[in-house]
Amino acid sequence: MSATVDALHLHPTDNLAVATRLLESGEAIEVAGGKVKLRESVRLGHKFAVAPIAKGERVRKYGQTIGFATEPIEPGAWIHTHNCAAGEFARDYAFAQETPPDPQPLEGYTFQGYRRADGRVGTRNYVAVVSSVNCSATVCKYVAERFNRDLLKQFPNVDGVLPIMHQTGCGIQYGGEAHQMLARTLAGFAKHPNVGAYLIIGLGCETGTIGYLMEHEKLVQIGAPTPVRPPAISMQDVGGTAAAIEEGIKQLAALLPRANDVRRETVPASEIVLGLNCGGSDGNSGITANPALGVASDLLVAAGGTAMLAETPEIYGAEHLLTRRAKTRAIGEKLVERIKWWEDYTGKFGVSMDNNPSPGNKEGGLTTIYEKSLGAVAKAGSTALAGVYEYAEPVTARGMVVVDTPGFDPVSVTGIVASGANVVCFTTGRGSCYGCQPTPSIKIASNTPMYEKMKADMDFNAGEILRGEPIADVGKRIFDLILDTASGRKTKSEELGIGALEFAPWNVGPTL
């Protein structure tokens, strides 16, 4: 947009428009080459018809199907859950038939990061106390609290001692899918480039044994001259809770000086692994924040970096836009395989994929999962799909990739971080207050009213797009903020201390 307008007609084939402010009943709105008189009030981010839509006809936004009319809809009528539903329709996956060329290399962009011994680069420098099972979570908490409260000031280059606490680790099949996924997730945090040292604490009789975690994930002590096992404590071996706390404090005291012995250095932007997430989305998310983040993602890929799209249930209904961009047919087929897995997984519990959007999403103007997904995939920009990864699987490809996670934000971002994201960009329209240590989370607001109301939690306002600022300009400002954040600029969630309690690994199996 070059100027503020009352409503957006996003594609020539769309039979609806999106309100950019509260539109009152009876207003005549200039949109789609004509005037449409509103039959009822339409709130910011919500939709109204610009042409007659027959019952059963496709409702179109972004030039794509977002659902089907459940009753006749007249021009000027509000379109939402009362007259539009998801329905079923076939998607043409056209695997790798529209793969874009590699972008023109973007050179000269750098940030100040921590170069690790394995070559990866951290944007923060935490020490982690990893619980192998919920039974040792409290011990991990007390060990971390002792240093964060009393002793951390002695180690100015350490951002904090992070307790990795969770609610599983037992009651699962030994060596089964849930066990392997938990081990991948814990290892992803322990070995994360934003972690300078770590300690593992377990109970001693759990299914998720420390030995399995170490051997299966090949864990070694960070910074050791030769590969050796990382420090670990079994509560049952050392004599219980109090003894484990004291032993944890002792071992952590030995780790901190080495973790503190680091300095930031200039590294290329190609070392950024960017996690893309959206939470508390609204009808503006797919118009402002997500496409602007897509521009930033494209710039990062052009600079040689990696951007991770996640939340597979919020790709559902838009996956055909990604399969066409896949570098190979096999990559596209792997994405569809994950979509089919999700259909089977949710079906086992009698759940529909359209149970997402949430009530808050719907209040913000999102009607169906297809509409939400079409807006969500805009975060991935326009470059080729370079890979598809399992939950918490280490991402090795450069470029834009998909990491299979649920849509629930804590579980999704936990998986993204475990896969190696050293910065996260998190778009929101309703106002999510999320953070995930050890990785900084940049909160990007989709609309100005929410941004103004929640400035203490929001890092960036993409709502300026609705006032006429070009998406490309906003995207470039987000890219610059990513580099600044990677260099140490604190996000709002970091300033508020959010992120230590948000670790939430995905447990896919039954609890036994």
What pTM value is reported for the model? 0.96
Q: 351 and 453 in one domain?
A: yes
For residues 250 and 300, membership in a common domain is answered with no
Assess contact for 78 and 43: CB atoms under 8 A.
no
Three-state SS at 250: helix
Which residue, of 231, 260, 289, is where some domain finishes?
A: 260
The token pair at 493 is 């969630």
Residue 494 three-state SS: helix
Res 1: pLDDT: 47
Q: How high is the mean pLDDT in each 10-residue block of the chain (512 residues)? A: 78 97 97 96 97 98 97 98 94 97 97 96 98 98 92 93 97 96 98 97 97 95 83 98 97 95 97 97 97 98 98 96 98 98 94 86 95 97 98 98 97 98 98 96 98 98 96 98 98 96 94 92
Specify whether 163 is located in the same domain as 283: no
> Which residue type, as a one-letter code, is found at position 207?
T
Res 343: pLDDT: 94
452 and 343 assigned to the same domain: yes
255 and 284 in one domain? no
Same domain, 242 and 372: no
Statement to judge: residues 133 and 228 lie in one domain: yes
User: What residue type is 20 in one-letter code?
Assistant: T
Residue 506 covered by a domain: no
> How many angstroms separate the CA atoms of 185 and 417, rounded?
9
Residues 412, 358: Cα–Cα separation, whole Å: 15
Asked if residue 446 and residue 323 are part of one domain, the reply reads yes
- Exposed/middle/buried for residue 233 (C-beta within 10 Å: 0-12, 13-18, 19+): buried
Q: Which domain holds residue 353?
A: 267-495
Alpha-carbon span 378 to 481, nearest angstrom: 19
Decide if 2 is inside a domain. no
User: Tell me, what's the pLDDT at 227?
Assistant: 81
Whether 134 and 275 share a structural domain: no
Instruction: Please give the pLDDT value at position 355.
Output: 79
Residue finishing a domain among 260, 277, 303: 260
Does residue 353 sit in the same domain as residue 481?
Answer: yes
State residue 353's pLDDT score: 85
How many domains is the chain built from?
3
DSSP string of 66-82, one letter each residue: EEEESS-B-TT-EESTT
For residue 69 the two structure tokens come to 């009319």
Sheet containing 160-164: order of strands: 160-164, 126-131, 195-202, 232-234
Burial 480-507 (b: 16+ CB within 10 A, else e): ebbbebbebbebbbbeeebbbebbbbbb
Residue 17 CB-density burial (10 A; 0-12 exposed, 13-18 middle, 19+ buried): buried
User: Domain for residue 104, yes or no?
Assistant: no
Do 303 and 373 reside in the same domain of the chain?
A: yes
Identify whether 510 is part of a domain.
Answer: no
Question: Are residues 313 and 250 both part of a single domain?
Answer: no
Q: How far is CA 331 from CA 126, 306, 322, 325, in A?
A: 34, 16, 10, 10
pLDDT tens for 216-242 read 999 998 877 778 899 999 999 999 999
Residue 28 CA to residue 278 CA, distance in Å, equals: 33
pLDDT of residue 2: 44
